[in-house]
Every structure is written in structure tokens, then in C-alpha cells.
Amino acid sequence: MDEQSPIAATLAQVGPRLRRVRDQRGVALSALAEATGISKSTLSRLESGQRRPSLELLLPIAQAHQVPLDELIGAPEVGDPRIRVRPRVHKGRTVIPLSAQTGGVQAWKSIIPANQNQPEPVTHEGYEWLYVLSGRLRLVLADHDLILGPGEAAEFDTRLPHWFGPAEDSPVEILNLFGPQGERMHIRAKPHSQKKPPA
């Protein structure tokens, strides 16, 4: 790591900050060692900068002092958190990327026009999550034919043949997450073949 970088500078200040917080509270090194389960020598090396700080060490210290972790670390201020996104059209669908990083889990918002309603199942590596914002979405997944309304979500392995698009003659707006792995959501949808009896 570049010793002139903001991260390196922040890490270099963790030791003195730990010592200052402990002194302000009038806590002896031995008492802190007893409270955290971290040896006195390790705490001493942390405070002197001879030991690199890690979460395994800093979390118990923050808990013992009852201070937020970022107060111990003195993390640098984050930059502007807003993501500048530009909608693009991909295969007739308007796609708005919501994640700035490349690789890993990708998030985007998709607006699928009403005329994109003919199933053309595809397969590829990965895992996908869908959340319907507005309209009604038809999801064809292997042998399943499902309809999802606003507020409903689905997840599936994209190695299975799949397609999704409008269930009606109007656009559907969805959020997508796609990646190799991640926290699973629960499918909440009804089979397309189920129809309510007339009132």
C-alpha cells in the first residue's frame, strides 16, 4: 500500500487514537486486556503502531469503550455517494445500471416495453433476482410459467432456461440483481395458468 495514500495515513493514526481514547476513559492496559480478551502485549503493540489493526482486534476494543468503530479508526470522509447513471437500450429494453463497480453482483433497473412479450428462453452462468416495481411480469423458468405483480420478487439459477417480460399489454418496470452468488430472496408468485373464477 502506498504510504502516502489516505488509507495508509488513516491506519497510521489508529494506534495513537486507541491510546487517546483509553487515556480519556482512564482505563489501564491490563483492564482493557481483561475486558476484550486481547493480550496486554498485543494492545500495547496496537497503540504503538507495531501491530496492524484488524476488525478482530478493533471490534472488541470499540465494544469495551462503548464507542462506534469509526471513532476508533477515524475513517476518512467518503466522497459524493451519488452514482451518475445513463440509461441505455439493450435488445429493446431500457436498462439503467445502479451499481458502479464491474464484476461481482450487478444491480440495474429495467423497463420492458409491452411489445417484448414473446418468450425466448435463454441460459447462461450466474444467478438472478427480480423485483417488480410496476406492471405485471411474466417469468418463464424451465417448466414454470409465473406472473409477478408489484412488490413481488423471484430468484433463479440462470443456467435454467428463462425469460421474463410483460404479462399484459403495458410495460413492466423491475429491479434486477445478477451475480455469481448472494443472499437469497423468496419467490412469491402465482402460476400463469391459475385463473380466478368469475365473480
Side by side, which strands form the sheet with 144-148? 162-166, 137-141, 144-148, 190-191
Name the pTM for this structure. 0.50
Higher pLDDT, 9 or 159: 159
pLDDT tens sequence across 42-83: 999 999 989 888 888 888 898 888 888 777 777 655 566 666
Compute and round to an integer the Cα radius of gyration of the chain: 26
Q: In sequence order, which residues have a C-beta less than 8 Å from that of residue 56 and are 6 or more positions away?
A: none
Element (H, E) at 64: helix 55-65
Q: Residue 131 has what pLDDT?
A: 94
